[in-house]
A and B are shown apart, each in its own frame.
Chain A
Amino acid sequence: MGEVIVVTSGKGGVGKTTTSANIGTGLASNGHKVVLVDTDIGLRNLDVVLGLENRIVYDLVDVTSGNCRLKQALIKDKRFPNLFLLPAAQTKDKTAVNPEQMKTLADELKAEFDYAIIDCPAGIEQGFRNAIAGADRAVVVCTPEVSAVRDADRIIGLLEAAELRNPKLIINRLRPDMVKRGDMMDISDILDILAIELIGVVPEDESIVVSTNRGEPAVMDMGSKAGEAYRRITKRIEGEDIPLMNLDVPVGIMDRLKRLIGLR
């Protein structure tokens, strides 16, 4: 029996789709049978992040409304034969699916896969309720910004109200240089406020943009810092106890100058 994990955030654009693609690909490269489900109906994205946009025939709404069988809608990944995508419908809206149907789908996926990763749309309306309906666990993504942390707090409350207890936090787009300057909230500041368990920290990294351009998740790029962060998160999801990666920045010339003239 597999597990359904929803990746959610409240605020848009903080990295849910990037995170879903990387965790899913990471789990598949570790040998698990994985399905990625894009529930962002009308704003389909997971297909392009994975580089599978040309293979779509059926979508999530086709499956939940009985237009096709689950197997017909699943798209096999180019790299891993054990990784599949269930794409979102592009021409419908979020009310085309309801939470009851998502629960039924989740049960079907659990019977077939080790992990089902659900990429949740932004917001707290029906799209969110659909995405969390069949989930066993939740991962909350936020960036080190006031609005993203605030929305994450709201989402944590809503997850708890929906009996999805102990969600895990991913802090995305952390900039160690800004943290060092005191111009970005640090890991401990955010944990202090949200009071949930951390499952990983992903640095701001150009390789995310490059990998998204190519449709190849950064988790497969051994030279990518963000990829390394996602490899560690994958292992933590599998239950391993892995330390946080070292995100220290080297002491720069400005720091040295400041110290010299006694500003720090």
Chain B
Amino acid sequence: MLEFISRMLGRESASSKTVAKERLRLVLVHDRASISPAMLNKLREDLVKVISNYMEIDEAALEFNLCQDDREVALVANIPVVKMKRDYATKGLAE
């Protein structure tokens, strides 16, 4: 009953303007970087592939995001390293 009254009076868990603002913030990060989520995923895969030539990383814990500050967008990656490959191994790869 109380819930009904409170819905009648228009109280919601998060106000719709907060939702609007958060959705806008996210969509504009991609708009401004003019890169689609699919392309961002591809970039992430490529990056993982390249880095894996040099070190073993924890792919599950990898953080990879476009971050926005004022009118600037930065690509921020946090890549936990599990193990470094031995130097001679990469030299070996190059030959």
Residue numbers of A with Cβ under 8 A of B are 145-146, 149-150, 153-154, 157, 179, 181-186, 189, 192-193, 195, 254, 257-258, 261, 263-264
Contact = CB atoms under 8 A, between A and B. Distances in A.
B64 to A, nearest CB: 23
Given A150-B28, A154-B31, A181-B10, A193 B21 contact: yes
B18 A195 contact: no
A146 B10 CA distance: 21
Given A150-B31, A254-B9, A263-B9, A193 B24 contact: yes
B20 interface: yes
B85 interface: no
22 contacts: A146-B20, A146-B23, A149-B24, A150-B28, A153-B32, A154-B31, A157-B32, A181-B10, A181-B15, A182-B15, A182-B18, A183-B15, A185-B21, A186-B17, A189-B17, A189-B21, A192-B21, A254-B9, A257-B9, A263-B6, A263-B9, A263-B11
Contact of A182 (B5, B17, B25): B17
B16 A195 contact: no
Given A150-B31, A189-B21, 19 more contacts: A145-B20, A146-B20, A146-B23, A146-B24, A150-B24, A150-B27, A153-B31, A153-B32, A179-B17, A181-B15, A182-B16, A182-B17, A183-B15, A183-B16, A192-B21, A193-B28, A258-B9, A261-B5, A263-B11
- Chain A facing B: main interface SS: helix
Interface residues of B, number: 20
B30 to A, nearest CB: 11
A195 B69 CA distance: 10
